[in-house]
């Protein structure tokens, strides 16, 4: 099978000769083998596992997204992804990434609150004029 993992801004991974894939969906784990029927699945945040003969099992921590299997091609589109071969190191990397994102999200939310408040004040002034 051929696996391609896409992020909004880049191709995260592109692998050929994939033996199997396991992904987490809203309905539970989804296993893909080469002769499985075509399908589409909504992914939830979790660990995507794929295996090749050359590399063995590889783990990718993924955010929510979509998985599409057509023939031998599997396309996974997610917002964020981090790969690794050791689950302990992958967990630490995910925690660091989410802490960074948490700080960025708080900053963005603060800016959005200020913009919304300013817009509301201007609308109130416009209404009184």
Structure tokens at 40: 């589409």
73 shares its domain with 20:
yes
Its pTM stands at: 0.72
Q: How far apart are CA 61 and CA 82, in angstroms?
A: 5
Residues in the chain, overall count? 129
108 shares its domain with 48:
no
Q: How far apart are CA 38 and CA 70, in angstroms?
A: 5
Residues 44, 78: contact at Cβ < 8 Å?
Answer: no
Bridge partners, residue 8, by sequence: none
77 shares its domain with 112:
no
Q: Report the pLDDT value the prediction gives residue 99, as an integer from 0 to 100.
A: 65
Residues 51, 18: contact at Cβ < 8 Å?
Answer: yes
The residue segments making up the domain with residue 66 are 1-85
pLDDT (tens digit, 9 = 90+) per residue, 74-125? Answer: 999 998 898 887 887 787 777 777 666 666 676 777 788 888 888 888 888 8
10 shares its domain with 39:
yes
Domain final residue, candidates 67, 85, 103: 85
| CB neighbour list of residue 47: distance below 8 Å, 6 or more residues apart | 24, 59, 60, 61, 62, 87, 90
Q: How many domains does the chain have?
A: 2
Q: Report the pLDDT value the prediction gives residue 117, as an integer from 0 to 100.
A: 83
120 shares its domain with 78:
no
34-38: average pLDDT:
92
């Amino acid at each position: 099978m051929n696996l391609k993992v896409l992020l909004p801004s880049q191709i995260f991974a592109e692998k050929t000769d994939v033996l199997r894939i396991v992904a987490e969906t809203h309905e539970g784990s989804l296993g893909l083998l080469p002769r499985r029927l075509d399908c589409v699945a909504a992914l939830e945040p979790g660990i995507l596992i794929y295996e090749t003969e050359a590399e063995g099992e590889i783990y990718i921590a993924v955010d929510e997204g979509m998985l599409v299997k057509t023939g031998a091609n599997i396309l996974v589109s997610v917002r964020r992804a981090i790969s690794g071969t050791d689950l302990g190191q992958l967990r630490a990397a995910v925690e660091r990434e989410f802490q960074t994102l948490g700080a960025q999200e708080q900053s963005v939310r603060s800016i959005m609150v200020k913009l919304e408040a300013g817009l509301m004040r201007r609308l109130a002034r416009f209404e009184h004029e």
